[in-house]
């Protein structure tokens, strides 16, 4: 890494701390969006994909292809990741359609579920790459 950029682990840890602080403040929109960014980073890191043009949907497809290449018949987490991304889209649309206050209140359950999914996804991906947590991803 360049001297101008923090190491990847520091960035992940910083974002995870920001999620905790957002939850403590009751900022569920921010917590959800940060978890979305963390899951995107996790998938990119796991898949060794650095292409900037890939969408979240594209990452899900690459992840599904990975599972198929590993002979997994059941696409573990593919449906959940797809629904998670749709929920992000709904949250963003609600911000401009209904405003922050409404969206934030209605996002509390989504933020809690996102945190649980993040931890479970880390644990699942550790079955393929036991060193995931060494790169900063924590499933607490």
Dihedral, 80, 81, 82, 85 alpha carbons, nearest 10: 120
Note whether 46 and 132 are within 8 A (CB).
yes
Q: Is residue 27 part of a domain?
A: yes
Q: Is residue 122 part of a domain?
A: yes
Q: Is residue 43 part of a domain?
A: yes
Question: By percentage, how much of the chain surpasses pLDDT 90?
Answer: 74
Q: What is the pLDDT of residues 94-106, one digit of tens each?
A: 999 999 999 999 9
Q: What is the pLDDT of residues 1-34, one digit of tens each?
A: 344 556 888 889 999 999 999 999 999 999 999 9
- DSSP for 37-75? HHHHHHHHHHHT---TT--HHHHHHHHHHHHHHTT-SS-
Q: What is the mean pLDDT of residues 110-139?
A: 90
Tell me the whole-structure pTM to 2 decimals.
Answer: 0.90
Q: Which of 76, 74, 36, 29 is nearest to 56 (CA)?
A: 36
Q: Is residue 25 part of a domain?
A: yes
Q: Is residue 140 part of a domain?
A: no
Q: Is residue 3 part of a domain?
A: no
Which residues, 6 or more positions from 40, have their beta carbon under 8 angstroms from its beta carbon?
56, 59
How far apart are the C-alpha atoms of 46 and 116, rounded to whole Å?
19
- The number of folded domains in the chain is 1
Q: What is the mean pLDDT of residues 50-63?
A: 87
| Residue numbers of the domain that contains 91 | 8-135
Q: Which of 40, 51, 32 is nearest to 12 (CA)?
A: 40
């Amino acid at each position: 890494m360049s001297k101008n950029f923090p190491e990847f682990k520091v960035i992940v840890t910083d974002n995870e701390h920001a999620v905790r602080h957002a939850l403590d403040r009751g900022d569920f929109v921010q917590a959800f969006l940060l978890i979305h960014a963390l899951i995107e980073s996790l998938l990119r890191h796991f898949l060794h994909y650095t292409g900037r043009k890939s969408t979240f949907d594209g990452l899900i497809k690459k992840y599904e292809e990975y599972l198929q290449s590993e002979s997994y018949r059941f696409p573990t987490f593919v449906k959940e990741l797809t629904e998670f991304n749709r929920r992000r889209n709904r949250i963003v649309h609600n911000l401009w359609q209904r405003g922050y206050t409404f969206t934030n209140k209605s996002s509390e359950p989504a933020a809690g579920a996102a945190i649980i999914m993040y931890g479970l996804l880390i644990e699942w991906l550790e079955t393929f790459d036991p060193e995931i947590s060494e790169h900063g991803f924590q499933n607490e």
